[in-house]
Amino acid sequence: VSAATDDRFALVSGVVHHVAGSCSFLQSTPEAASNSGLVVGDDALLVVDTRLTPELGRNLRDYVRGEYGQRVGRLLVVNTHFHGDHWFGNQAFQDATIFSSTWTRQKLASEWAAQVDLFASIRPHQAAEFGAVQPALPNIGVRGEVEIELGGAMAKLVPMGPAHTPGDVVVLAEQDTVAYCGDIVFNSHWPVLWDADVAGWRAALQELLGRDLRVVIPGHGPAGGPELLEQMLRCLDFLEVLAEADESTWESAIVASEFRGWLHRRRVAPSVATVRAQQGVAATSSSREPSDDGEEC
């Protein structure tokens, strides 16, 4: 590999890892926040999430064009969910067909600007970059599973919300052995539960554990295998333990836990608040309906 090649395809704030067959993923640095995926066929290339800012999206687009442009004519994009760090780069892919769940597509049509404002408030040092976001939003919403033929490679879009958000989509590839999980899986980063349905999130993780996955790609942090799904379940368990405990005990519990080194500790308090609110809702509804045997059928 020549230095010139490295310059031409230089990615900013991330590294691309080839994980299997048609599948790669871009692991972003913590500053760049969110990961992206690439499923490469002979005729089309599917990009999973377009990074945190328009600039990072352009950089990803340049990488894709430089690396695959000679042989892949058509670009497709999937936005796994509506959080801005997964679609603010969309405007670099305006010539692509952009998919999401129907829920996410409808949510963004009315509330994309609210995501810009939210990210400008939580990442004020990047407010100018978020101010450059244009609403290049999903063109096509999917409801059930959709298989897309890319030419010698398939990708399957699987709506799995409500989980991290009401409209999550997981992308499966390589005969359903590789899963681009979006923010249904965080690794080494504390999860965000602002828009979560905790019970639905657990159900989504269990559903994925029932599949024969070999590679699990999180929305944030390094990839791994199915153990990342189990780790995420344990993380939700741990947040429920904190929800039962007094806040004064949290720090010692975190230090004693497997999550002690995870980034963005400030997310713990609002996440626990979400868990507490939903535990309250669950308790209320079960007291109203004491006999729910057979509900799982």
Residues contributing to the site for Zn ion (CB under 5 A): 83, 183
Q: Evaluate whether 282 touches 243 at the Cβ level (below 8 Å).
A: no
Q: Which of 253, 185, 196, 260 is nearest to 218 (CA)?
A: 185
CB of 126 to Zn ion, least distance (A): 16
Cβ closer to Zn ion: 174 or 183? Answer: 183
Residue with Cβ nearer Zn ion (30 or 66): 30
Handedness of CA 221, 96, 154, 103 (dihedral sign): positive
- Residue 138 CB, nearest distance to Zn ion (Å)? 15
Tell me how far, at minimum, the Cβ of 253 lies from Zn ion, in Å.
25
Looking at the chain, how many residues does it have? 297
What is the C-alpha separation between 98 and 75, in angstroms, rounded? Answer: 9
Do strands 146-149 and 140-142 pair parallel, antiparallel, or not at all (unpaired)? unpaired
Shortest CA distance to 90 belongs to which of 115, 120, 122, 117?
Answer: 115
Give the separation between CA 47 and CA 29, rounded to whole angstroms: 18
User: Based on CB atoms, which residue is closest to Zn ion, 117 or 176?
Assistant: 117
Minimum CB distance to Zn ion smaller for 59 or for 115: 115
Give 41 or 218: the residue with its C-beta nearer to Zn ion.
Answer: 218
- In angstroms, rounded to a whole number, what is the distance separating the alpha carbons of residues 288 and 297? 20
**Minimal distance, residue 80 CB to Zn ion, in Å:** 8
The minimum distance between CB 31 and Zn ion, in angstroms, equals 17
* Cα–Cα dist 280/257, whole Å: 25
| Cβ atoms of residues 88 and 133 within 8 Å | yes
Supply the angle between the helices 227-244 and 198-209 in degrees, to the nearest 10.
160
Q: In what order do the strands lie in the sheet with 36-40?
A: 14-20, 23-28, 36-40, 44-48, 74-78, 97-101, 140-142
Q: How far is the CB of 192 from Zn ion (least distance, A)?
A: 6
Between residues 59 and 80, which has the closer beta carbon with respect to Zn ion?
80
Closest approach of Zn ion to the CB of residue 255, in Å: 26
- Closest to Zn ion by CB, 41 vs 84, is 84
**Would strands 44-48 and 36-40 be described as parallel, antiparallel, or unpaired?**
antiparallel
Structure tokens at 3: 């230095």
